[in-house]
Amino acid sequence: MAISSHSSSLTSYVSSSVTFDVCPHLALGSCSCFTQLTKKRKRGHQETKKINNASSSVLDMCLYPKTVACLHLSLGVCTCLADTQKRVHQETNVSTTNNTCKALAVETNVGDPWTIKKVLTKSDLDDNCRLLLNKDLAKKWVVPVVDKAKAENDGVEVEVFDVDTGFPLSLSFKIRPSNDSHVFNKTWITDFVGRRSLKKGDEIGLKWNENRKRFDFSVLHRSY
């Protein structure tokens, strides 16, 4: 009777304490609390060696149940949740960084700011007295920033700045409707070919400077 009474009291005590060990995790055995529970079981077995077999069985069944679940996931404590959040954060940072780099490259035109480039030919240097532009490039980068009506008649004067020498110049942009050619003329031979000693095979570049409302000019490569 003494043993039975002792077992009953022990069972009642342990049952009232079992709620502190309940851990309803969906992925059983993955939470760190299971490691702590395993250690607690070992200590419990050691501590109950002096208790009779009946008492020991009751203690083991009540205090250390076979199936344990963990509420840590919903509480935001579980390591698996932390790992997921860390991975999402890293992927977001990479995506944000990539998008930022792309936007910066577009905004500053990194790598090749010269929207109009041409390797000079003989006809660009002779008595034709004009720089013949690629039609598609001229329509994309020159026509939108000039008076097209004037360009199709007598031509429209545009400011040009030689970034290599820091020299302000000008050119006349003209569209020839007869053959739909787009050229820079007037001072092209004197102020550019002659002054910069341009030769066949040299590559020049032009770009529209929105802040200054002008075209910037540069000799990109020499043929020698």
Looking up residue 143, the CATH number of its domain turns out to be: 2.40.330.10
Confidence class of residue 87 from pLDDT cuts 50, 70 and 90?
low
The Cα 166–Cα 163 span in angstroms is 5
Number of domains the chain is built from: 2
Whether residues 126 and 184 share a domain: the answer is yes
Tens-place pLDDT, residues 69-85? 455 544 444 555 456 55
The Cα 68–Cα 62 span in angstroms is 12
Least confident of 96-110, 138-152, 203-217: 96-110
The Cα 186–Cα 183 span in angstroms is 10
The Cα 12–Cα 10 span in angstroms is 5
- Cβ–Cβ under 8 Å, residues 166 and 153: no
Within the chain, residue ranges assigned H as helices are: 2-17, 33-47, 53-63, 72-75, 79-108, 135-141, 148-151
Q: 142 pLDDT exceeds 80?
A: yes
Q: 106 pLDDT exceeds 80?
A: no
Whether residues 123 and 53 share a domain: the answer is no
Whether residues 140 and 61 share a domain: the answer is no
- Cβ–Cβ under 8 Å, residues 136 and 145: no
Q: 53 pLDDT exceeds 80?
A: no
Q: What is the pLDDT of residue 131?
A: 98
Q: Kindly write down the DSSP assignment for every residue of 158-204, as one continuous string.
A: EEEEETTTTEEEEEEEEEETTTTEEEEESSIIIIIIITTT--TT-EE
Classify residue 147: in a domain, yes or no.
yes
- Cβ–Cβ under 8 Å, residues 55 and 6: yes
Give the pLDDT mean for 168-192: 96
Confidence class of residue 62 from pLDDT cuts 50, 70 and 90?
very low
| Domain-terminating residue out of 55, 75, 95 | 75
Q: Which of 220, 216, 115, 206 is nearest to 168 (CA)?
A: 216
Whether residues 65 and 139 share a domain: the answer is no
Q: 195 pLDDT exceeds 70?
A: yes
pTM metric for this prediction: 0.52
Whether residues 120 and 68 share a domain: the answer is no
Question: Which range of residues forms the domain containing residue 52?
Answer: 2-75
Confidence class of residue 112 from pLDDT cuts 50, 70 and 90?
confident
- Cβ–Cβ under 8 Å, residues 196 and 140: no
